[in-house]
Amino acid sequence: MLIWLGLAMTLATPWAAATNYYVVTSSQQPSPTPPWTNWGWAHTNLIEVVAAARDNDTVYVTNNTKYYLTNQIPVKYAVTVRSWGPGGILDPTNTILDGNYPTTTNRHFTLSNYWATLAGFTLSNGWGSANTNGLGNTGSSGGSISLYYGTVTNCIITRNYAISADPSYNQAGGGGIFMGMDSAKSGSVWNCTISRNIIGLKNCGGGILVNNGSWRIVNCTISGNTAPDVGYEGGGILMNSASGPGPGGVGVAVVSNCWVVSNRGDYGAGIKMSYNAECHNSFLMGNTSKYQGGAIRAAGNNVIRNCLIANNATTSSDGGGISASGGNPTIIQNCTIASNYCSGNGGGVNFANYDGFPKVENTIIWGNSAGGINSNWYMARTNPANAWATFTNCCTSPDIYSNSTAVFASGTNTITNDPRFVSIAIADFRLQSSSPCINAGVNRTWMDGALDLEGNRRIDQFNGQVDIGAYEYLPAGTLFVIH
């Protein structure tokens, strides 16, 4: 069933807080009755209902329909806008908001209240411009959502497009979602799928752009997004111009427990990380960039922890898995970096033109390939006195000590034997029982209470020693406790 939603109206009637509003199709409700506060009185115009809602109100939208928008919907108050499926559950698959591009040119939502929440929709066919964000600001975008404050959860954000009519807005972007604007902004995206979105802006994040502020992207799948033009960064996610605590603490832009797969971009096809960005407990697989960083391009002062980085590639440059550069250190901890490829140097990791001190701990860098030199890792530096990579309790080959680039790096407790993955053929990079990486890592304070990539304790209860790589080995069998 298709209905058309008109432009938002300014309603003069003051509505009380904590009110529930209801939206249905025109066929279900031929005569909407204000104040639209039960299903019998439900409105058929979502834009008008959201305009009427105030702090603590909830807007329920019935499922099994597609709504065509004729304008973006600003959520300026602490309002929850959510789908209503059988029994009141969220139903993103069957509650579809279509941005109606190219008939109209609008994104779906702009959220500008810290407590605003959007939940349980499929958002498709939106079009966002950096010049028309609805708040009087320029330099932002978001093909589907501009998120200045608030939370987006349990949504499918797919086939949206962002562009700018003014090429001077180089920091604009986010084919699916824009998050940020300045350091005061904050919010999160949870349990969402962000897929097949496209950015038509320079420097900008095919799926998501994070541009300043404190943001979390958690339990999401970011797949098949594209930043297609020369100089475009972050095919999946661009985490840009963050400000906040240094590495090892809580970064102001954090990706955690996500699948970042099959994205495309010029630089950092999976994720481009600028300063004070972190990526934890995530899978980065099958991403392809033209230039540096098939999975991740890190600009320094970043943390990459408990991640699997596998089967990524760069077609015309370095760092098939990770490309890191800059004067501030990138820290890579307890990652598995395997089966990546680059046409240049460092199929697994490339520290490109480094002028700093990157640190790699408890990490497997194995089975990668390169068209240039150093299949697993490579370091080049602009200032020999101020650039030195340290590898602590890592498993990699060739041996750091005998590698031709050893002048640029040092290693402690390096393992050069095969880590013995369960199966490279089926991309199962857990450890076999005979792996030399078991109980071979160095413990750190951040591991207390932390989980590995599979959700197991980062330090197992039997040996009290962390494994090398993204996975802790769990012995098979039955545990008997005798009292």
Q: Which residue has the higher pLDDT, 233 or 35?
A: 35
**Are 172 and 248 part of one and the same domain?**
no
Q: What is the mean pLDDT of residues 413-434?
A: 94
Flag whether 231 is in a domain: no
Flag whether 338 is in a domain: yes
Flag whether 233 is in a domain: no
Question: Measured between alpha carbons, how far is 241 from 415 in angstroms, rounded to an integer?
Answer: 36
**Are 122 and 257 part of one and the same domain?**
no
- Boundary-marking domain end, from 142, 176, 210: 176
- pLDDT confidence bin for 445, thresholds 50/70/90: very high
Flag whether 428 is in a domain: yes
> Residue 455 pLDDT more than 60?
yes
> Residue 15 pLDDT more than 60?
no
Three-state DSSP class for residue 385: helix
**Are 248 and 170 part of one and the same domain?**
no
Q: Which residue has the higher pLDDT, 8 or 60?
A: 60
Write out the residue range of the structural domain in which residue 470 sits: 242-483
Residue 467, pLDDT score:
97
Q: Exposed, middle or buried: residue 49 (CB in 10 Å: 0-12, 13-18, 19+)?
A: buried
Residue 388, pLDDT score:
76
**Are 133 and 247 part of one and the same domain?**
no
What are 424-433's pLDDT values in tens digits? Answer: 989 999 999 9
Average the pLDDT over each of 200-209, 221-230, 272-281 and give the range with the smallest value. 200-209
Q: What is the mean pLDDT of residues 47-75?
A: 94
Residue 166, pLDDT score:
54
Q: What is the mean pLDDT of residues 360-386?
A: 85
Q: Which residue has the higher pLDDT, 61 or 243?
A: 61
> Residue 213 pLDDT more than 90?
no
**Are 164 and 264 part of one and the same domain?**
no
**Are 139 and 272 part of one and the same domain?**
no
- Boundary-marking domain end, from 119, 144, 176: 176
Cβ atoms of 153 and 115 closer than 8 Å: no
What secondary structure does DSSP assign to 26-62, as a single string? TTT-SS--TT--SGGG-BS-HHHHHHH--TT-EEEEE
Residue 165, pLDDT score:
52
Cβ atoms of 340 and 320 closer than 8 Å: yes
Residue 74, pLDDT score:
95
In whole angstroms, how far apart are CA 397 and each of 43, 380, 400? 65, 18, 7
Residue 288, pLDDT score:
95
Flag whether 218 is in a domain: no
Residue type, 352: A
Question: Measured between alpha carbons, how far is 357 from 340 in angstroms, rounded to an integer?
Answer: 23
**Are 468 and 332 part of one and the same domain?**
yes
**Are 166 and 268 part of one and the same domain?**
no
What are 328-368's pLDDT values in tens digits? Answer: 788 999 999 999 999 998 999 998 766 667 899 999 999 99
Q: What percent of the chain has pLDDT over 90?
A: 58
**Are 125 and 265 part of one and the same domain?**
no
How many domains is the chain partitioned into structurally? 2
Which segment, 29-33, 189-193, 235-239, 342-346, is predicted with the most confidence on average?
A: 189-193
**Are 161 and 282 part of one and the same domain?**
no
What contacts 200, CB < 8 A, 6 or more positions away?
Answer: 161, 162, 163, 164, 228, 229
Residue 249, pLDDT score:
55
Regarding pTM above 0.75, the answer is: yes
Flag whether 286 is in a domain: yes
Residue 202, pLDDT score:
62
> Residue 292 pLDDT more than 80?
yes
**Are 251 and 346 part of one and the same domain?**
yes
Reading the block at residue 441, the tokens are 């890592």
Flag whether 59 is in a domain: yes
What are 142-192's pLDDT values in tens digits? Answer: 999 999 999 999 999 999 998 765 555 555 688 999 998 777 788 999 999
Mean of per-residue pLDDT scores for the chain = 85
> Residue 214 pLDDT more than 70?
yes
> Residue 262 pLDDT more than 80?
yes
**Are 260 and 170 part of one and the same domain?**
no
Flag whether 438 is in a domain: yes
Q: Which residue has the higher pLDDT, 206 or 201?
A: 206
- Boundary-marking domain end, from 137, 160, 176: 176
Q: Which residue has the higher pLDDT, 353 or 466?
A: 466
> Residue 137 pLDDT more than 60?
no
